[in-house]
Copies of this chain bind each other. A is one copy, B any other.
Amino acid sequence: MKEPNSPDSPLADLCRQRGLKLTGQRRTIAFVLSDSDDHPDVEELYRRAVEVDPRISIATVYRTVRLFEENGILQRRDFGGGRARYEVADGDHGDHYHLIDADTGKVIEFENTELDSLLEGIVRQMGYDLVTTRLSVVGRRKAKPRSRG
């Protein structure tokens, strides 16, 4: 038996708050997501979830990830490579953005309030309210400018 207010993961709580049925599988996936600070694709999420509960199905991971996205719990990202990747949605604080290393494919997160408000302003001026920003800049590491040699 578990105590009625067992401390679930932050995402599991969010799941409940949104009125979603909190099944064992969703609890597992929510836990895995709360535990991740990278941008896993569904395959990778499935791998991590199976370590917690081996009888979970990949179909359920797909379903749950979609459900969470529809409920604003997750955000889907596209970094190329053909599969969708997911990360926990930002809360109240501003969006964050991604810099992708052109050579290694590594994803580096960054925030910038000036960028936040510039985008907000641009969109407003076009007659829209900003809903989401999807920004990833691809960059190539600069060679350190040695004194020519």
Residue of B nearest to A115 (CB): B118
User: How far, in Å, is A79 (CB) from chain B's closest CB?
Assistant: 9
Report the copy number of this chain in the oligomer: 2
In the complex, what residues of B have CB within 8 A of residue A122's CB? Answer: 110, 112, 115, 137
Residues of B within 8 Å of A129, CB to CB, are 139-142
Instruction: Say whether A67 faces chain B, with CB atoms less than 8 Å apart.
Output: no
**A140 and B128 contacting across the interface, CB-CB below 8 Å:** yes
Q: Of B78, B99, B123, B130, which one neighbours A126 at CB under 8 angstroms?
A: B99
**Interface pair B127/A138, CB less than 8 Å apart:** no
Do B108 and A126 touch (CB < 8 A)? yes
Q: Is A148 an interface residue (CB 8 A)?
A: no
A141 to B108 alpha-carbon distance, docked (Å) = 31
- Interface residues as binary, A87-115 with B (CB distance below 8 Å gives 1, 0 otherwise): 00000000000010110000010101011
Provide the bound-state CA to CA distance between A78 and B133, in Å.
13
Interface assignment of A119: CB less than 8 Å from any CB of chain B: yes
CB distance from A125 to the nearest CB of B (A): 9
Q: How far is the CA of A139 from the CA of B137 in the complex (A)?
A: 20
Distance between A118 CB and nearest chain B CB, rounded to angstroms: 6
* Contacting pair A142 B118 (CB below 8 A): no
Residues in B with CB closer than 8 Å to A55 are none
CA distance A9 to B122 in the complex (A): 34
Complex alpha-carbon distance, A149 and B5, angstroms: 45
